[in-house]
Amino acid sequence: MLAKAFVETADYRALMYTRDFNCVVGRRGTGKSALFQKTAEYFGQHNQGNFLVASTPKEHETLALQTALQEVHADYRSGRAILRLAWKIDILLSIFEATRHYKLPRVSEHSYIQMYKEAHSLLATSAGAQRCTAILKAQSKQSPHDIPGKIASELRVNWLEDNVRAMLTATGHSGIILWDGLDEGWVPDEAATAILGGLAAAVADFADSKVGIHGVLFIRDNMFRALAHFDRDFSRHIEGTTLRLNWDELSLLHLIANRLRAAFDDLRDVESDVKVWNRFADRGLQDRTGFELCLKHTLYRPRDLLVLLNSSYVLAVRQGRHEIIDDDIVSTSHRISSDRLDDLLKEYDTVFPGLGLFVRVFENQPALNQYHLVLELLDNAIKSERYGSQPAADFALFGSAQEAFVALYSVGFVGLKDASSDHYHFCHDGASANLLDMERDAIIAIHPCYWRALNATAEIGQDSIVIDADDELEQPGLNPESRERVAHFHDIRTRRLGQVLEELPRIALGHDGYSGFEDWVLRAFRILFAGKLSNIQFKPNAGNVQQRDIVATNLAQGGFWRRVFEDYATRQLTVEVKNFVEIGRDDFRQMLSYLGQSYGRFGLIVYRTESEGMTEKERTWLREIWHEHKRMVFTLPASMIRRSISKLRTVRKHDYAEATLSKRLDIFERSYVAIRQAK
């Protein structure tokens, strides 16, 4: 169908006839790979003035490059600088390897580059991510800040660029290099995004230096947003050269009509898209209104729509019809709705792992509801959460119903009814939203695409919801003076983690800040240990003689907490919160009084010291309790908790907190409570 019925959109023509765009950005299913394929086909077959390289990295190649970058301990800035040069070398050599021209034997620069490549054996590796990995590994013993300079000098990057420029000039050709599939193996952390940022910067460099090489990256919008978050030069290098793919009703109708013309011989000469559609769709689906009813079951993306219509047509054929009807759409829509909901959860499973739990709050609930009732629903879910699974940490991270609602709006799950019309506004680009001025009676809608998957109830049909998608537009539902344009994306989860980190230094020491510090520690434990500890509660035995600050059930499924259960028989964990820099003997004795029976022989005190060691007095009290009562009073500085939360912003550091606690317990057992023999 791509060969027979490709729609030459304005986006496609912009890529063919201009050199204005280096990034093509779109959500899942918006046709990026189709556009990549047709663009490569155009430059490869219909434009003989170019040397073309069309690259699609494999997942294992991308993962190997990420590992190599992590091994040199590069942050985003140094990682991008390293990969900027590595990608530049790879692009230059890839264009050289793609050259086929009768003038080349007489072009001295071509011979120079061939000798250069032979002199550097590491560059003989397969092109793309594999070659970048080889370049990086050759410098792995260097400091990440020294590696860019080493690569530039040892591999003579400027010399190579000058010779490729001269070679292209001599042949009268340009170099075109296209990348698709860059999401293979990609995760939204610093290392993976630095690789993408380095590639984008290298492509931008070629545009600035007039080498004669034009590159285009086809990337998903969540990758684009990660670049906006990490890259300080985003607005200068990337934002201004970006082509964003968007589809409306008319363009989607034209796409479907073209497919139908290619599929059915008797429709090939029908010029009107509506007439073509009416030959395919019957009862309840006629004309543009019928087509738009089908769109209500999708996210206005070609992939969604094609799956819906193909599945509906299969049902029609089984019943001896060649036209789809509204019953076919309804029968198919439940599976389509579930698939789209699964797509949403997969798209955000790394940056918003608790999204699935948030979404399930809306099962069997009204599809349309007032804002204050939606907040009440979310608030009840947050308060009743037992934190028995790791994704539940997001209930603590988004600590209020309002913050949870903003997160759900920003991923397009819920939308807002325009007060002046019947339109509902939905955001599909994952951007953060400023919704602080919402009226309590404002009408909120679950996206119609998800109604059937959630068994959401409504007094009106899906066809009554008029949808406006607000990607890159001003946020709706606000007073005019409160509207603001979303310029950059701040990863939802990372931004919230940053806010939690910023709260601790603002909490006063001593009695004035006691309540605030207790709340912070409770939230921190829920964020860090959901799924490992459950039913994490604050003062569950308030009013009793022994009032423990925080108690949690140790699930003991593995790692540090299993060790605590097996070595110290602790099923119910006691956490005491002390908002002081120093703790005294009475604090240790108080913890001792709490331990025993299901509370076991292990208790934890969190306090505000910046020192991660223990004072000699603290060690004395610890040893005394250990040797007299065989109880472990484990102290934990708030600074270590704060650092553990900070590490959650890196996708691969989710086990950092447990690893840190394990190392600290090793020190307690091996050094602090061990009996030293007299010399």
Residue-range definition of the domain harbouring residue 15: 2-244
Look at residue 497 and tell me if it is in a domain.
Answer: no
For the domain that residue 568 is a member of, what is the CATH number?
3.40.91
Look at residue 550 and tell me if it is in a domain.
Answer: yes
Residue 161's closest CA among 55, 233, 90? 90
pTM: 0.75
- Cα separations in angstroms, 619 against 250, 627, 677: 74, 12, 17
- The residue ranges of DSSP E strands in 523-601, in sequence order, are 533-538, 550-554, 572-578
The pLDDT of residue 655: 82
Are 53 and 149 in a shared domain? yes
- Cα separations in angstroms, 302 against 92, 245, 507: 35, 11, 50
Look at residue 492 and tell me if it is in a domain.
Answer: no
Cβ neighbours around 546 below 10 Å, total: 10
- The residue ranges of DSSP E strands in 428-586, in sequence order, are 443-446, 466-469, 533-538, 550-554, 572-578
* Burial class of 351 by CB neighbour count within 10 A (0 to 12, 13 to 18, 19+): buried
Look at residue 553 and tell me if it is in a domain.
Answer: yes
Residues 53, 215: Cα–Cα separation, whole Å: 9
Are 320 and 267 in a shared domain? yes
Q: Are 222 and 192 in contact (CB under 8 A)?
A: no
Residues 315, 299: Cα–Cα separation, whole Å: 22
The pLDDT of residue 474: 37
Structure tokens at 207: 């545009």
Are 177 and 285 in a shared domain? no
Task: List alpha helices for 439-485, DSSP H.
Answer: 451-454
Mean pLDDT by 10 residues, the chain (679 residues): 89 92 91 94 82 94 94 92 96 93 90 93 88 93 93 95 94 94 87 94 92 94 84 84 91 95 92 95 92 88 92 94 92 88 83 89 94 95 91 89 89 86 74 66 91 87 64 38 30 78 94 94 95 88 64 94 96 96 95 93 96 93 95 96 88 78 96 65
Are 477 and 520 in a shared domain? no
Sheet containing 414-417: order of strands: 368-370, 443-446, 414-417, 423-426, 466-469
Are 478 and 426 in a shared domain? yes
Number of domains in the chain: 4
Structure tokens at 19: 């050199």
Structure tokens at 70: 């992590």
For every residue of 14-50, DSSP letters joined together read HHHH----SEEEE-TTSSHHHHHHHHHHIIIII-TTE
Are 94 and 15 in a shared domain? yes
SS3 content of the chain, % helix, strand, coil (to 5): 55, 10, 35
Collapsed DSSP state (helix, strand, coil) of residue 52: strand
Residues 396, 387: Cα–Cα separation, whole Å: 9
Are 67 and 147 in a shared domain? yes
3-state SS record for 638-676: HHHHHHHHHHCCCHHHCCHHHHHHHHHHHHHHHHHCCCC
The pLDDT of residue 462: 63
Estimate to the nearest angstrom the gap between the alpha carbon of 474 and the chain centroid. 22
The pLDDT of residue 252: 95
Q: Which of 347, 371, 405 is the last residue of a domain?
A: 347
Structure tokens at 590: 């108080």
Sorted by sequence, the CB contacts under 8 Å of residue 469 that are 6+ apart come out as: 246, 300, 412, 426, 427, 428
The pLDDT of residue 679: 41
Look at residue 496 and tell me if it is in a domain.
Answer: no
Look at residue 569 and tell me if it is in a domain.
Answer: yes
Residue 561's closest CA among 519, 604, 624, 610? 604
Residues 525, 573: Cα–Cα separation, whole Å: 12
Are 59 and 129 in a shared domain? yes
Are 273 and 232 in a shared domain? no
Q: Which of 459, 487, 515 is the last residue of a domain?
A: 487
3-state SS record for 369-408: EEHHHHHHHHHHHHHHCCCCCHHHHHHHHCCCHHHHHHHH
Q: Are strands 550-554 and 533-538 parallel, antiparallel or unpaired?
A: antiparallel
Are 123 and 179 in a shared domain? yes
Q: Are strands 242-244 and 23-26 parallel, antiparallel or unpaired?
A: parallel
Are 298 and 438 in a shared domain? no
Cβ neighbours around 374 below 10 Å, total: 27
Q: Which helix (H) or strand (E) holds 279?
A: helix 273-280
Look at residue 498 and tell me if it is in a domain.
Answer: no
Q: Which of 347, 382, 410 is the last residue of a domain?
A: 347
Are 239 and 261 in a shared domain? no
Look at residue 679 and tell me if it is in a domain.
Answer: no
Residues 642, 657: Cα–Cα separation, whole Å: 10
The pLDDT of residue 668: 96
* Burial class of 244 by CB neighbour count within 10 A (0 to 12, 13 to 18, 19+): middle
